[in-house]
Structure 1
Amino acid sequence: MRAYLLLMLVSAAVTYLATPGARWVARRTGAISAVRERDVHLRPTPRLGGLAMLLGIVVAVVLASQMPFLAGVFATGPQAWGIVGGATIVCLLGWADDVWDLDWMTKLAGQALAAGFMAWQQVQLTSLPTPDGLYITSSRLSLFATILVVVVAMNAVNFVDGLDGLAAGLIAIGGAAFLLYTYGLTQQATPENYANLATLMMAVLVGACLGFLPHNFFPSHIFMGDSGSMVLGLVFAGAAITITGNIDPVSAGDTLSGAQRVPLFIPLLLPVAVVLLPLLDMGMAVVRRLAAGKSPFHPDRMHLHHRMLALGHSHRRAVLILYVWAAVFSFGAAALVMWEWQVVLVGLGIAVVVALLLTLGPLRTRGRFLDDDVATGSHPAVAVASGAHAAPQVATTPTAPTAPTTSATPVAPTLTTHEGRPR
């Protein structure tokens, strides 16, 4: 575990130190998010944080390749480099999209290309962990399943990336649970060797998220952009795919019993639990837009984070509560590796009740220390309505000592830069 923690620290440090450089590149290339009616940020913001996150991941993986403890991971095949290569492809794709606003078909083709590259490097879904061992014998079906899983994961993270620090925090929390899960699973299956590619990739992914969060949490100085959200989704999906091929569910299941058999047969449960909120948000958005006769990619202000704001939560409070929900589902699934499912179910029920109280209880109008104006040091916030849903609280500052304070919607300054993708 010490090796994984070291790699996490390296990834976090590199990402943190490289983020100001990514902000500079964003300004030079015009990758700036302007303020539009459907957005929740209040000023034009650079959005190439994915470059810094990719650099943190690459440096940490290169360091891992030189560690004797992880030598076996790199000796067995090119999977680690396949994930790094796929992350590089989607990062460059996201950079291009952040600058030139690519159409959805071009983005989808680029995402499929990155997923196909990973499959070519042996990061491929060839089996599903069922008690009887469900194997995908067709190479074409295996390739299709791999691309589908990776593309869905990338777009799920992209859909939920709508508030400062939300996507990075959700993946950091879920990734930490997945790291503990895969580490525990490896301990049970191969007690003589704890080296595991999925655990390695989770460690560097969590590190990249933690290194980026200080720059991205409200009030954000930079967004991760598509270059970051797609990298997070691809690396996470790649790690989830690799863990399914490391253990034979039939042969290993014969030697395990009780609580140990449950996590062995469902290693895909945790990846689903980690991205449950993004998947739920994406699914609801697609259904909602198709029902309204619109494109599933048509932007709106009805994502989960918008609904949190409409409930009365501040920007920071909405993000932190969504963190709680992510932790409930992620660590609830990870707990299956250590406890019986009945115990986990009881604990999960209690955690869900607590999360509901935080979401719908009096915290919506209390908790001054979590208000946005406290974080920015500005005057008390004023809620601004946008259609049927309330926009995030906006702090207004007088222009002169005697000037009155107004509660008008902030107007974005005139920009010559690209407006960017909807948030």
Structure 2
Amino acid sequence: MKQYVFIALFTATLTLVLAWAIWRISLKYKLYPGIRERDVHKTPTPRLGGIAMYLGVVAAFAVSAAHPFFSIIWTDPQQPLAILGATSLIVIVGVADDLLDLDWMIKLGAQFLAAGIIAWFGELQIYALPIGGMTVWSGWVSFLLTVFSIVIVMNAVNFIDGLDGLVGGVALIANVIFFAYSYLLVRDTGASTYFTLASFIAAVLIGACVGFLPMNWSPAKLFMGDGGALMLGLLMAVSAIAITGQLDPAIIGDNDAFGRSQLLGAFIPIILPVVIVFLPLLDFGLAVIRRMRAGKSPFAPDRKHLHHRMLDLGHSDRDAVLIFYAWTAIVGLSVLLMYIGTGQDWPGEYLAGVVFGVVGIAACLVVTLLPPTPARSESSAPEHTPQEAS
């Protein structure tokens, strides 16, 4: 565990230092776009924070090559190099969009290319679904399922990049929960080492988010932009595929560590990676439906995302962000607790997860739908609310 703590702290420290430096350089050379018609913030703010996060991630991978605990990553360098190559591509295109506002077709093409690099050259694909021994029946099906899954998660994370600290905080909470899950899963399956590529990526992303949030908390000095949000989505999808999509279904179906609830133990490896990005996926789905019904591109920007609706209900920007944090934590922790309960001879931990989830979701619904302040119009949105990226 201490090795994971080290890599997270290293990434966080480097990301924070680089974010501050990029903020100063951006202000000095005016490396920020003007206010666009769809933007709701009124002060031009640099959007290059994704560069700091990217460099922190790259440095963490470099350190892993020299660290004995993580050196197993580089036994076959094809996977880490593919991950770094795809990440570099998506950050370059994202930063170009943050500065030049690229056409959505260019961004989408780059996303598919990056996902293809992961699936084809990195050979990180969804080979199996841990349900009753189910495997993906075709190499091309596995490839396409992997590529579309990565692209969907990338866009889902990017779509919620609309309030100061929102994406960074949600990704931080999601990766903490996913790290705990992947760590426990490896323990329960009786592996000889607690190290996995999924746990490593989650630890690195935890560090990148912790390092960036001080610069992004309301009022934000620096936005992560498309470069940062797309990178987070890409690596979160890759970490989930690295452990869930390649997990032998027989390990879960036959392992006594999952106790009485064999069915739940089989489904959670699929459920939890989806649950931790539940809000981004929900927002993404609603946005696609809304825009296509209006005869627009599913990637045409608008101001009708979930966080915008919360502002219009009367929540302040900070309150809305904290409520998103609560939703992510409640839903993710509930499933994690239920997973922990599957390894017990009595249902106490499982029931604790169910009760925690029901009570927590009920509380979140009340807070979300009954804000403490009167509803306000769009024109009164906070000055520092970031641009709608997608």
The verdict on a shared fold, with TM-score over 0.5 as the criterion, is yes
Checking the alignment, whether the CA contact within 8 Å between 2:225 and 2:389 is kept in structure 1 is: no
Partner of 1:231: 231
Asked if 1:297 is matched to 2:289, the reply is no
Question: In the superposition, relative to structure 1, how do residues 155 and 29 fare at CA in structure 2: closer, same or farther (>3 Å)?
Answer: farther
Asked if 1:108 is matched to 2:108, the reply is yes
Which sits farther off after the overlay, 344-353 or 31-40? 31-40
Partner of 1:273: 275
Listed as ranges, the gaps of 5+ residues in structure 1 are 366-382, 396-418
Question: In the superposition, relative to structure 1, how do residues 260 and 194 fare at CA in structure 2: closer, same or farther (>3 Å)?
Answer: farther
Question: In the superposition, relative to structure 1, how do residues 67 and 364 fare at CA in structure 2: closer, same or farther (>3 Å)?
Answer: farther
One-letter identity of the residue aligned with 1:258 = G
Report the Cα distance in structure 1 between the residues aligned to 2:70 and 2:91, rounded to whole angstroms: 26
Q: What are the residue-to-residue correspondences of 1:18-167 with 2, within 5 Å?
A: 18-24=18-24, 26=26, 31-76=31-76, 78-119=78-119, 120-132=121-133, 134-167=134-167
Q: What SS does structure 2 have at the residue aligned with 1:320?
A: helix
Report the Cα distance in structure 2 between the residues aligned to 1:210 and 1:64, rounded to whole angstroms: 19
Report the Cα distance in structure 1 between the residues aligned to 2:232 and 2:371, rounded to whole angstroms: 34
Checking the alignment, whether the CA contact within 8 Å between 2:16 and 2:212 is kept in structure 1 is: yes
Partner of 1:376: none
Asked if 1:345 is matched to 2:354, the reply is yes
One-letter identity of the residue aligned with 2:381 = P
Q: What SS does structure 1 have at the residue aligned with 2:39?
A: coil
Partner of 2:178: 178
Which sits farther off after the overlay, 312-321 or 74-83? 74-83
Q: What are the residue-to-residue correspondences of 1:217-228 with 2, within 5 Å?
A: 217-228=217-228
Report the Cα distance in structure 2 between the residues aligned to 1:118 and 1:394, rounded to whole angstroms: 39
Partner of 1:330: 332
What do the CA deviations read for 1:119-140 (whole angstroms, capped 9, x no partner)? Answer: 11121221122122x2224222
More helix by share: 2
Partner of 1:371: none
Which sits farther off after the overlay, 69-78 or 97-106? 69-78
One-letter identity of the residue aligned with 1:327 = A
Question: In the superposition, relative to structure 1, how do residues 113 and 272 fare at CA in structure 2: closer, same or farther (>3 Å)?
Answer: same
Report the Cα distance in structure 2 between the residues aligned to 1:356 and 1:32, rounded to whole angstroms: 37
Asked if 1:392 is matched to 2:381, the reply is yes
Compute the TM-score of the two structures, normalised by the length of structure 2: 0.90
One-letter identity of the residue aligned with 2:82 = G
Q: What are the residue-to-residue correspondences of 1:358-369 with 2, within 5 Å?
A: 358-361=367-370, 363-364=372-373
Which sits farther off after the overlay, 150-159 or 101-110? 101-110
Which sits farther off after the overlay, 35-44 or 196-205? 35-44
C-alpha root-mean-square deviation of aligned residues, in Å? Answer: 2.4
Partner of 1:375: none
Report the Cα distance in structure 2 between the residues aligned to 1:65 and 1:315, rounded to whole angstroms: 41
Checking the alignment, whether the CA contact within 8 Å between 2:302 and 2:388 is kept in structure 1 is: no
Report the Cα distance in structure 2 between the residues aligned to 1:173 and 1:95, rounded to whole angstroms: 25
